[in-house]
Structures are given as structure tokens and as C-alpha cells.
Amino acid sequence: MFDYATVAVEAALAAGASYADARVVDTRTEKIEVLNQQVQGVDRVETIGIGVRALVGSSWGFYATADLTDAAARQAGARAAAIASASAGVPGPPVQLADVPVSEAFWESPFVEHWADVSLSEKVDLLVRVTTAMQGVTGIALARAELGFFDTNKWFVSSQGHRIRQHIVESGGGYDATALGERETQRRSYPQSFGQYETGGYETVRAWDYEGNAARIAEEAVRLLSADECPEGEKQLILEGSQLALQIHESVGHAIELDRILGWEAAFAGTSHLDLATLGRHRYGSELMQITADATIPGALGTFGYDDEGTPAQCVDIVKDGIWVGVLSGRDSAARAGLPPGGMVRADGFNRLPMVRMTNVGLLAGDSSLAEIIADTSDGVYMATNRSWSIDDRRLNFQFGTEIAWEVKKGKLGRMLRNPTYTGITPHFWARLDMLAGEKERVHWGTPNCGKGQPVQIGHTGHSAPPGRFANVRVGVKG
């Protein structure tokens, strides 16, 4: 496979590229979905192909093909350069690339039990048992469960001498129960909305005790139908870990993407409220807020050995003691901003242009616990598991809804609340972070569905988060 990539890179250089790289990517996926004990789909996808990136002047050109022959690879390289050259009709400042170590390497994500070695019937049986358990709860109309698996081999070659092979295995899944009321639906999910995905094999699924939580989840969905509506007002807000992970993803992770900050995503994904001139000085949140982008966390979904530009995975400080200190970057964006390259550029398959992507952007642990946080809360709401998320194009004004909440009064967890929502402005919200649980309750949550770019790419990102508390947050926004 390295040979095809090499041929493509040589062809791109011969066609006028100042730099070129190529990735051969061989991907296998499996997805199984069960609804009310019936299999909705067993989908297996295998794709292989080559994507070539060529730099001419101020633009990247990219061409991808599923044909893997010397001739096709050569043609792909030449077309990538020709496409880049066509950009000269609307030129800008030349692209520079930040220096990175040139590596020849092999990296593999650790796994114990490859998902492909687990029989399809065992996986289906698990999902059928889980939906059976949820349906055993009176009032559940829809019991849905799914598993998803990815196996990706990449061969990367650059015109600067990179020659890197990686093998990344990802596994995960989850389930949800829906109860139908007269005028609304209520849903509960486990381990989190959209499932929990990690790098690793089937052992990551076994670790989550799917069956042991199914009845509880279903019972909560039914109880939500008759629960009181989440009250409106300013409250102390306690977020369960997976919701805090999504909060990080949306209001920190995207905001620190250097391509957004530089305006490269302005028309679609948007820009950022962050200004590079304030890097190192801007207060992002309270002093409890310590955020890193760490692509080296074993088992986390945003973990790899090298990004899709061949830059080694690394851990970068993003927010230190509440001050914004770092960004997510690639070689071109880092050079433009005069910052060190972060190795955070990845592509969704062989046929997409690599772009700045979150790695594992997460909170470091605090020194409290969920129990202590609740005990310390006088008038609050504890919200768990995301149900809706919306944030503006500068990652500033957000409104999130969760599946479930509980009232917290005078240090005690009280009545269940339905339709909980909260809203805020990013730096104001993070400034109110006043308690954070410790390492024992910190989970490396995975987000398998992050959309960005044109054509749209779906990214896999990780977000470590323990439960945390925020003061004076507006909750209970109504439609």
C-alpha cells in the first residue's frame, strides 16, 4: 500500500505541487441495531481507496479514488495538483507548513478482543436481551439498542519522507428506552446519548454492563412522563459526566479549533468567539477549569499514534487555571498563527481532506465527588444525559436539554424533573464552575458523530469529564 501512496505523491509533485501526501485507507465497519427485540439492520461496510493532498500556492487540492492501481494512484496525484492549481483564480497568501518530525513508524491502538472475533449472534443476542429487559417495564413503547465497530488501517506517505502505518480499532454502542405520553415522548439512554464509543475491542462493550442497567433506564423513562416539569429560573446546575463532556465538546472543543479561529470554516461550521491576540490571557472559566487535548489517553475515542499529516499524537494544554492557553491545530493553521503544530488533523476516510479535529479534549479531575457536590448544593438541579444541543456559530450562546433531572434542595436529591434545559454564554458559564468531582468519577466519554467540514465529515472525538457544578445558571427554558 505504501507503494501506491508513494506513486501518488510523486505524481502530484511532478504536476507542480510544492508538497503532497497520500493516504491509503482500508476500513471495515459493522453496525447492528435492534428495536423491540427485532433486528433492524446488520450492516457491514468495507471500503478501500487512496486520497491525495497537493499544495499549490494558497490552496490544497485533493483527489480520491477507490481504484488501487499504479496508474490510478498516479492519476489521482496529478489530479490533486491540477485541482489545487485551479484555485489560483481566487488566490490568497501562500500556505506554509509548520515543521514536524519526519517519521517512519507503525502504531496500533490496543485491544484485547477484536470485535470481528466475537460472533454476530453473540452481539445480536446481547441487544435482544437488553431490549427485552427494557420492554419488560410497563409503558415502554420503543426499546432500541445498537452496537457499532470500526477497524481502520492507514498507510501515510508524504513528500517530506513520512511513511506511517496505523491500525485503529474502535468499538461501542448503547441503548435507549422511549415512553410515549399523550402529548410528548420521554427517552432515557445508556451509557449516554448516541452510545459510548472507545478505541479498543469488544471488551469496551462488556465493561459497561448493558443488561444490568436496562430495567432502571426503562423505569426512568416511564416515570419521566408523570414527573414535574423542570422549573424556570437561575439555579445551581450539576451536570452528570456525559453531559459535561458534551458541554466541553460544543463550547470548548469547537471554539479552540484553529481553522475556525482563522475563519477557514466561517460559512458553514462557523468561527469562534476566541481571538488569538488574547491567547494566554483570556479567562475562559474559573480556576477549577483545567482542559487538555490529549491524543495519547489509552482507550479514549480521540486517541491515535499519528494524525493524518504524520504529526505524532501529543497532549496539549488548552485551559490552565481557567486561562485559555492552547488551540487545536494542524501544520498549515499552526504556521499561519505562529504556533507549534498540535497534530490534530484527521479525515473521515480515504476520500476526505484532512482537517483540524478534536482529539480527547477533556477536563482534568477535581477533588470532590458527586455525593459531596449534591450535599453542598442548596438550590439546584442535577441534569443527566444529553437530549438536545444547540450552540451558535461562534460557540458562545448555547442551549442544551437533558433526558432527566432531579431537584436538589438543601443538600438532598429530590423529585425527578422532566424536559430539563439550561442555557448560557460560554465564558460566563464556565466562570461559574465551582465544584468538580475527582478522578474516580472521571470517564473518557466518546463522541462518534461530530460533523464538520464541506463535504461534511463525521469525526470521532473523546472528552474526559467527571460530574461538575455551575452556579447561577438559567434552567427550564420553555418553547
Which positions ≥6 away from 377 have C-beta within 8 Å? 236, 238, 408, 411, 469
Determine contact, residues 257/356, Cβ cutoff 8 Å: yes
From 57-65, 198-206, 297-305, 372-380, span contacting another protein (CB under 8 A): 57-65
Q: Is 61 in the site for another protein (CB under 8 A)?
A: yes
Per-residue x/- mask for another protein, residues 328 to 367, rule CB under 8 A?
Answer: -----------------------xxx--------------
CB atoms inside a 10 Å sphere around CB 389? 17
Write the binding mask 165 to 194 for another protein: x where contact by CB under 8 A, - elsewhere. Answer: -------------x-xx-xxx---------
Residue nearer to another protein on the CB measure, 453 or 466: 453
DSSP 418-457: ES-EEEEEHHHHHHTEEEEB-GGG-EEEEEEEEEETTTTE
CB 168 within 8 A of CB 197: no
What residues between 62 and 91 interact with another protein by CB under 8 A? 62-67, 79, 82-84, 86-91
12 CB neighbour count, 10 Å cutoff:
32
Query: Looking at 105, 142, 225, 325, which residue binds another protein (CB under 8 A)?
Result: 142
Cell of 191: 451509557
164/246 with CB nearer another protein: 246
Contacts of 216 (CB under 8 A, 6+ apart): none
Only one of the segments 98-106, 364-372, 451-459, 463-471 lies at the binding site for another protein (rule: CB under 8 A); that segment is 451-459
What is the Cα–Cα distance from 190 to 174, expressed in whole angstroms? 6
> 119 or 410, CB closer to another protein?
119
Cβ at position 171, least distance to another protein in Å: 18
- Binding-site size, another protein (CB under 8 A): 87
**In this structure, are strands 59-65 and 140-158 parallel, antiparallel, or unpaired?**
unpaired
Q: Which is nearer to another protein, 181 or 438 (CB)?
A: 181
Please, which residues have CB within 8 angstroms of residue 354's CB and are 6 or more apart in sequence?
23, 53, 307, 308, 309, 330, 345, 346, 347
Select the residue interacting with another protein from 8, 11, 17, 49 (CB under 8 A): 49
CB 203 within 8 A of CB 239: no
What string marks each residue from 29 to 48 as x (binds another protein by CB under 8 A) or -? Answer: ----x-x--xxxxxxxxxxx
Interatomic CA distance for residues 419 and 401, integer angstroms: 7
Closer of 38 and 138 to another protein (Cβ): 38
| Subset of 2-31 contacting another protein (CB under 8 A) | none
448 makes contact with another protein (CB under 8 A):
no
Q: Does 428 bind another protein (CB under 8 A)?
A: yes
- Which residue lies nearer to another protein by CB, 146 or 219? 146
Q: Does 401 bind another protein (CB under 8 A)?
A: yes
Q: Is 471 in the site for another protein (CB under 8 A)?
A: no
Contacts with another protein in 376-395 (CB under 8 A)?
Answer: 387-394
Q: Could you give the count of Cα atoms lying within 13 Å of 134 in the half-sphere of its Cβ?
A: 34
CB 307, min distance to another protein, A: 17
The least CB distance from residue 310 to another protein, in Å, is 19
Among 14, 112, 207, 266, interactor with another protein by CB under 8 A: 266
Candidates 312-320, 375-383, 434-442, 450-458; binding stretch for another protein (CB under 8 A):
450-458
List CB contacts of 113: < 8 A, sequence separation 6 or more: 201, 202, 203
Contact status: 414 vs another protein (CB under 8 A): no
Q: Which is nearer to another protein, 295 or 450 (CB)?
A: 450
DSSP 200-253: S-THHHHTT-HHHHHHHHHHHHHHHHTSEEPPPEEEEEEE-HHHHHHHHIIIII
Q: Tell me, what amino acid is at 258? A: L
